[in-house]
């Protein structure tokens, strides 16, 4: 399975670390990591890479840092690079950019006999999205 990961802060880096560890034992590959561009940080306001970029580079993974995925030449280039990675699935954790439908349509997807094609997985640090859709109500009964 080919997985493209998109994330930026430390929370996302922990998710990427778990994915790297799982990929090593499961035989998966991570052909591309998307993260936000380097930002000024610290007292000197020097450009600093995101936690995800640092981890990805430490593991020899390809990294792309587009400023947008929605419009402009940077977005088009990022979408082309994503398509070239030929992902089966996109795993997203605190990425910070809106993923347009064109990006969500790139992964081939995971499919089994009982569900539709799964192309993207969003890892979220909060239970709020679950509560918003109402899905958490039924699954939390009796706890």
Tens place of pLDDT for every residue, the chain, 143 residues? 999 999 999 999 999 999 999 999 999 999 999 999 999 988 889 999 999 999 999 999 999 999 999 999 999 999 999 999 999 999 999 999 999 999 999 999 887 666 677 889 999 877 666 666 655 444 444 43
Structure tokens at 87: 């992902």
Which residues neighbour 104 within 8 Å (Cβ) at sequence distance 6 or greater? 90, 119, 120
End-to-end CA distance of the chain: 35
Structure token digits, residue 3 = 């997985």
Q: Which DSSP letter does residue 107 get? A: S
Map out the domains of the chain with their CATH numbers.
Answer: 2-139 (3.40.50.170)
């Amino acid at each position: 399975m080919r997985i493209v990961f998109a994330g930026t802060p430390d929370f996302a880096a922990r998710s990427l670390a778990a994915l790297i560890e799982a990929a090593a034992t499961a035989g998966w590959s991570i052909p591309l990591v998307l993260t936000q561009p380097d930002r000024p940080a610290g007292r000197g306001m020097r450009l600093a890479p995101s936690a995800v970029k640092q981890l990805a580079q430490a593991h020899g993974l390809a990294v792309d840092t587009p400023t947008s995925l929605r419009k402009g030449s940077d977005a088009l280039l990022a979408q082309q690079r994503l398509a070239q990675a030929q992902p089966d699935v996109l795993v997203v954790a605190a990425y910070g950019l809106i993923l347009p439908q064109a990006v969500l349509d790139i992964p081939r997807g995971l499919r089994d006999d009982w569900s539709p094609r799964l192309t993207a997985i969003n890892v979220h640090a909060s239970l709020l999205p679950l509560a918003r859709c109402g899905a958490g109500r039924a699954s939390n009964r009796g706890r």
